[in-house]
C-alpha cells in the first residue's frame, strides 16, 4: 500500500454514480475502480450510487459502500419502466433523482465520478451535478473505450444534449482504454476544449478476489471453456450456439461451463439447463459474483465481449472467442473487431443460422490460438494505476473555487 496522502479534511470522500438498468457492466467497472482506489490509500471512503437490483450480491472492500436507488428496466422498444415498484416511470425517476441529490448533499464528496451517462439516466443527475459544481466539487465523467458507431451516437448525444455537460460541467473526462485502439469520440465533432480535458487511462486490470468462504462450481471436467453472457439479458444467442456445437460434436477438446447471467429470461434459462443436462461435458450455472476466479482457471473464454469481460480476457491472458452483440449498439462489435485486428481475440458474428459445425470448429481452434500476451500493446492494462494517479491529484488539490481556481477545504 502506498503512503497515504494528507487530504484537506483528513479523510477524503468519493461519490460514484452508476445508473444500471439490467446489466452488470457499469456496476462492475465502478466497483473495480473503487476497490483499487481504497487499496491505494487508507484515508479514503467511497460511496456508489447504483440502480442494480443485485448489487447486494457482490462483496465490497472496507471503506466502499453503496446506496441502492430504485431500479428501472429498459424495454425492447427503448422505453423504461419501474423494476419493482408500482410507480410509473416518471415517479420512479423523480424518486431516484431525489435520493441521488440528497445523498450527494449529505455525503459531501471531494470528487464525483459519473459512469457513461453525462446527465445520468433521463437527466436524473443534472441537478446533483449543478449543486456540486456550485460547491466546487471536481466532477469527472468516466467513459468506456467504445460508446457506439458515430452514426448512432451523434444523434443520441444531440437528443440528450450531452455537449453542454462535456464542455461546461465536467472538469475531466476519463476514457478507460487506449486511443490507439478505440476512441469514443471517433467520427464526432467535438470541441477542442473537450478533447483537452480527456484522459485515456488504458484498460482496467482485474484480479482474482481474495479467498474467503467462496465455493466454486463443481466442473464436469478440467480444463474447461468458460462461456459467459455477462448480465445475460441478451445472451441467448451465445448460449444456444455453443450448446448446438456440443450437441453436434461430443469430442470437443474441452468441457464447458455456461454462466447464463442473472438477467436472462427464465424460459431461456430453463431450456439451456435442460439441454445441458443431457450432455456429459457441459455444466450450467446462472450467476457467480466472483466470476474472475472462474476466468483465471478457464482454458479459454467464449463471450459477448462487453467492456468488463474484455478487460478480464486481457488481465488473465486467456484465449477467447467473442460473439459481439450488434443490436441495439455496435459497441461490442467495434471493440471485438479492433481486438481481432491486433491479434488479441477471435470473433464470430451471428448470421442467423448458428451453424453448430462452425462453432465446433472455432472451439477446436481455440487451444492453438495465440494468447493476448503474444500481441499485447504497450500500456494496454494500466488503467487502474492511471485512475489512481488522476484521482489523487484532484483530491490533493482540494476543491475548485467559483472561478475554477483551487481552494483547500476547511
Mean local confidence (pLDDT), 53-72 = 88
pLDDT tens digits, one per residue of 223-277: 899 999 888 888 899 999 999 999 999 999 999 999 998 889 999 999 999 999 9
Residue 360 has pLDDT above 80, yes or no: yes
**What CATH class does 224-375 carry?**
alpha beta
Output the pLDDT for position 79: 63
Lowest mean pLDDT among 37-46, 79-88, 372-381: 79-88
Per-residue pLDDT, 74: 66
Q: What percent of the chain lies above the pLDDT cut of 90?
A: 63
| Alpha-carbon gap, residue 285 to 202, rounded angstroms | 32
Q: Which three cell numbers stand for residue 272?
A: 439451456
- Give whole-number Cα distances, 214 to 62, 63, 217, in Å: 18, 21, 10
3 pLDDT more than 50: no
| Residue of 281, 238, 289, 274 lying closest to 257 (CA atoms) | 281
Q: How far is CA 233 from CA 21, 70, 178, in A?
A: 11, 19, 28
- The CATH architecture that domain 12-205+381-407 belongs to is 3-Layer(aba) Sandwich (3.40)
Q: What is the pLDDT of residue 86?
A: 73
Cα atoms in the Cβ-side hemisphere of radius 13 Å centred on 330: 11
pLDDT confidence tier of residue 406, bands split at 50, 70 and 90: very low
pLDDT score recorded for residue 368: 92
Separation between Cα atoms, residue 144 and residue 183, nearest integer Å: 9
Beta strand pairing call for 399-400 and 406-407: antiparallel
405 or 126, greater pLDDT: 126
Tell me which residue of 387, 5, 11 sits closest to 205, measured CA to CA. 387
Q: Residue for cell digits 442473472?
A: 262
Distance (Å) of CA 366 to CA 77, 114, 345: 37, 38, 10
* pLDDT attached to residue 407: 46
CA 152 to chain centre: 20
What's residue 409's pLDDT?
42
Residue 232 CB burial class (10 angstroms; 0-12, 13-18, ≥19)? buried
Q: What are 29's three cell numbers?
A: 467497472
- For residue 306, give the nearest of 287, 320, 285, 286 by alpha carbon: 320
Over the Cα atoms of the chain, what is R_g? 22
Q: For 142-201, how does the pLDDT look when each residue is reduced to its tens digit (9 = 90+)? A: 999 998 888 899 999 999 999 999 999 999 999 999 998 889 998 899 999 999 999 999
How many percent of the chain have pLDDT more than 70?
A: 89
What's the grid cell of residue 42?
Answer: 487508507
pTM: 0.88
Q: How confident is the model at residue 205 (pLDDT cuts 50, 70, 90)?
A: very high
The average confidence (pLDDT) of the chain is: 88
Listed in order, the ranges of the chain carrying CATH 3.40.50.2000 are 12-205+381-407, 224-375
Residue 75: pLDDT band with limits 50, 70, 90: low
pLDDT at 213 (0 to 100)? 47
Residue 49 has pLDDT above 90, yes or no: yes
**Among 63-77, 86-100, 329-343, where is mean pLDDT lowest?**
63-77
CA–CA distances in Å: residue 164 to residues 71, 157, 168, 276: 27, 10, 5, 51
pLDDT (0 to 100) of residue 275 = 97
Q: How confident is the model at residue 87 (pLDDT cuts 50, 70, 90)?
A: confident
Q: How confident is the model at residue 54 (pLDDT cuts 50, 70, 90)?
A: confident
Amino acid at each position: 500500500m502506498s503512503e497515504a496522502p494528507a487530504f484537506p479534511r483528513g479523510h477524503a470522500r468519493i461519490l460514484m454514480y452508476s445508473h444500471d438498468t439490467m446489466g452488470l457492466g457499469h456496476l462492475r467497472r465502478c466497483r473495480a475502480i473503487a476497490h483499487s482506489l481504497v487499496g491505494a490509500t487508507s484515508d479514503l471512503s467511497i460511496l456508489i450510487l447504483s440502480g442494480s437490483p443485485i448489487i447486494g450480491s457482490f462483496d465490497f472492500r472496507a471503506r466502499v459502500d453503496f446506496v441502492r436507488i430504485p431500479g428501472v428496466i429498459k424495454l425492447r422498444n427503448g422505453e423504461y419502466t419501474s423494476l419493482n415498484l408500482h410507480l410509473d416511470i416518471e415517479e420512479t425517476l423523480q424518486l431516484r433523482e431525489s435520493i441521488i441529490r440528497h445523498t450527494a448533499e449529505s455525503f459531501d464528496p471531494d470528487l464525483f465520478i459519473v459512469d457513461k451517462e453525462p446527465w445520468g439516466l433521463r437527466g436524473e443527475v443534472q441537478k446533483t451535478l449543478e449543486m456540486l459544481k456550485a460547491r466546487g466539487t471536481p466532477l469527472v465523467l468516466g467513459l468506456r473505450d467504445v460508446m457506439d458507431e458515430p452514426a448512432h451516437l451523434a444523434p443520441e448525444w444531440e437528443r440528450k444534449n450531452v455537449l453542454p455537460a462535456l464542455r461546461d460541467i465536467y472538469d475531466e473526462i476519463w476514457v478507460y482504454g487506449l486511443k490507439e485502439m478505440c476512441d469514443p469520440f471517433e467520427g464526432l465533432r467535438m470541441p477542442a476544449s473537450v478533447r483537452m480535458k480527456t484522459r485515456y487511462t488504458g484498460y482496467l486490470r482485474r484480479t482474482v478476489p481474495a479467498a474467503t468462504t467462496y465455493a466454486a462450481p463443481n466442473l464436469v471436467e478440467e480444463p474447461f471453456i468458460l462461456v459467459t453472457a455477462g448480465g445475460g439479458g441478451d445472451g441467448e444467442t451465445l448460449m444456444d450456439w455453443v450448446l448446438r456445437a456440443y450437441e453436434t460434436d461430443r469430442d470437443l477438446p474441452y468441457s464447458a461451463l455456461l454462466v447464463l447471467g442473472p438477467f436472462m429470461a427464465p424460459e431461456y434459462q430453463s431450456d439451456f439447463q435442460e439441454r445441458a443436462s443431457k450432455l456429459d461435458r457441459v455444466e450450467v450455472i446462472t450467476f457467480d459474483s466472483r466470476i474472475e476466479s472462474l476466468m483465471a482457471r478457464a482454458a479459454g473464454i467464449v463471450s459477448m465481449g462487453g467492456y468488463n469481460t474484455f478487460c478480464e480476457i486481457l488481465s488473465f491472458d486467456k484465449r477467447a472467442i467473442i460473439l459481439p452483440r450488434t443490436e441495439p449498439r455496435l459497441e461490442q462489435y467495434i471493440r471485438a473487431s479492433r481486438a481481432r485486428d491486433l491479434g488479441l481475440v477471435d470473433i464470430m458474428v451471428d448470421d442467423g443460422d448458428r451453424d453448430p459445425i462452425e462453432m465446433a470448429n472455432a472451439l477446436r481452434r481455440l487451444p492453438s490460438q495465440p494468447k493476448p500476451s503474444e500481441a499485447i500493446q504497450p500500456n494496454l492494462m494500466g488503467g487502474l494505476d492511471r485512475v489512481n494517479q488522476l484521482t489523487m491529484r484532484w483530491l490533493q488539490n482540494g476543491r475548485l473555487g467559483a472561478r475554477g481556481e483551487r481552494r483547500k477545504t476547511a
